Amino acid sequence: MQGYSLGIELGSTRIKAVLVDENAQTVCTAVYDWEDGLVDGYWSYNLEDVKTGLQSVYKSIAEAYSKLKGSPLTHLDSVGVSAMMHGYLAFDKDGKQLVPFRTWRNTNTGPASKKLSELFAFNMPHRWSICHYYQAVLNGEDHVGEVCKLHTLASYVHYLLTGEYVIGIGDASGMFPISPETHDYDERRAELFNGLPEIQKMGKKVQDILPKVLLAGHSGGKLTEKGAAFLDPDGHLQAGALCCPPEGDAGTGMVATNAVREGTGNVSCGTSIFSMIVLEKALKAYYPEIDIVTTPNGKDVAMVHCNNGTPELDDWITMFRQLMTYGGVEVPVDEAYNYLFNLALEADKACGGIKAFNYLAAEPVAKIEKPYPLYYRTPDSRLNAENFLLAQLYAIFASLKIGMDLLKEEQVPIHKLVGHGGVFKTKKVMAKILASILEAPVATYDSAGEGGAWGIAVLARYAYEKSEDSFETYVDKIFEKNNRATIEEPDAEIVQGFAQYFASYKKSLEKLRALQALKI
């Protein structure tokens, strides 16, 4: 009997499931759209929507499988869960959720982030789970004394399926710093945290409230009867599937782009945008713009994470499609993106004096502390569709460039860079722009659109097969079977045009910071 593995990823805008065979080839996929909202001033998702979304994608997978194979889906070799990293999911000793889920998008943790960064001599970004917890302590929130478990979204869903309080090391590295020697939470920094007067009053050590850390290839438990019924209320799915350690979307994105070896990296672009470069050696200093996280097998990674990816662009393209509709032309979404992206390549490569800022949320990398979605142009600018669209595409990568330039100064080698996410499905355009901005070849793979759901399915296969191959070699072999790469080289005109654009962009950031200082 051929075996199958199920990968599930809970992203910022979609919950996606991918069923793969024993060669990690995709059998079928399913998607459930969802969105966050403000709850008590925090960006949040209702956990009931997690249940609804998971059951919806599983049902679609089961139906597609049944149509293909002529029989119901009853058995899985393995299951993997991935989700957006960081955030704050706090539970008491009885498993009661104490406050609504606070996602990575919340940037209210500035005091905690600053204090912990100084205490640890290590960059502690606003969105990390321990910053959310410590900020709640600093705020004197009523619930903090009851906190017994802190979850990420992936570890929470994994717990629902298995009853195991565990987490993959990549996802864990977005909760609390990881020791590269022990592949566990950094003991020295944990004791520094436990020694803080505010934490001592809580009567709990940080190690006691965080999930157990596991590496790629380890078992994270098995799908229980309760977990199987949670996924499949129709009752066809049997318990017993091995569940790999739950991982964050950064780590599964690295798997999905075969960027897990030292000197490789990827750029993942969706609601947020981030780069992940696997380090050959530690950075000489720590930078507020660069996070140190890990691959799913514990290699140190320099991560430049920007809160704002494609949503502002998506809104503009939606408007352009509406205008086409008013003119009597119905254009499918994918065709609209393809047409408008390619139109942008006809622009003046410095965007003709137009600047765009996609800051629908605060952007710590750019030191912008409040949302500023805007565009502006100089009086002598050349406003046309091409220039406007290229400015919007540049805006997606501009904040990322700030952090990547610091890695360049540190002389971090990048032997391979891979683009990952829906925007890279438009052949050549975004990969060519990114290659030109970072002045490095950018590859895209056939699996780029399937993303982290496929990546966690590969991790589930690796855990199930108990392969003797190193994790890096195992992923290499999967890609030899499954993926064709398209490589884009830097374009000299875009390199020169973006350099001109970016110099002006950075000056404009200074003006935006001045506005925020005036509370405008």
| Residue 109 phi, psi dihedral angles, 5° rounding | -95, 25
> DSSP letters of 51-104?
HHHHHHHHHHHHHHHHHHHSS-----SEEEEEE----BEEE-TT--B-S--B-T
Specify the pLDDT at position 520.
67
Model confidence at 152, pLDDT cuts 50, 70, 90, reads: very high
506 Cβ contact partners less than 8 Å away, ≥ 6 residues apart: 402
What does the pLDDT read at residue 518?
80
Classify residue 338 as left (phi > 0), alpha (psi -120 to 50) or beta: alpha
Distance CA 340, CA 252 (A): 29
5's enclosing H/E stretch is: strand 5-10
CA–CA gap between residue 249 and residue 233 (Å, rounded): 27
Cβ neighbours for 154, distance < 8 A, ≥ 6 positions apart: 10, 81, 82, 83, 85, 167, 168, 171, 246, 247, 248
Indicate if the pLDDT at residue 227 is higher than 70.
Answer: yes
pLDDT for residue 484 is more than 80: no
**For 174-225, how does the pLDDT look when each residue is reduced to its tens digit (9 = 90+)?**
999 999 999 999 999 999 999 999 999 999 999 999 999 999 999 999 999 9
CB atoms within 10 A of CB 76: 23
Calculate mean pLDDT across residues 454-467.
96
Q: What is the pLDDT of residue 103?
A: 97
| Residue 423 pLDDT grade (very low, low, confident, very high; cuts 50, 70, 90) | confident
Residue 446 has pLDDT above 90, yes or no: no
What domains are defined for the chain? 86-151+176-209 (3.30.420.40), 257-309+413-488 (3.30.420.40), 312-403+491-517 (no CATH)
pLDDT at 268 over 70: yes
Residue 202 burial (C-beta neighbours within 10 Å; 0-12, 13-18, 19+): middle
Alpha helices in 143-265 (DSSP H): 153-162, 169-172, 187-194, 197-200, 206-209, 225-231, 249-256
pTM of the model as a whole:
0.87
Lowest pLDDT segment from 151-155, 265-269, 290-294: 265-269
Alpha-carbon distances, residue 310 vs 28, 76, 84, 395, 432 (angstroms): 26, 35, 16, 9, 17
Three-state secondary-structure class, residue 247:
strand
Confidence of residue 369 (pLDDT cuts 50, 70, 90): confident
- Segment 118-130 shows an average pLDDT of 95
Q: How far apart are CA 349 and CA 187, in angstroms?
A: 50
Question: What pLDDT, on the 0 to 100 scale, is given for residue 192?
Answer: 98
Q: Which residues contact 68 (CB under 8 A, 6 or more apart)?
A: 27, 28
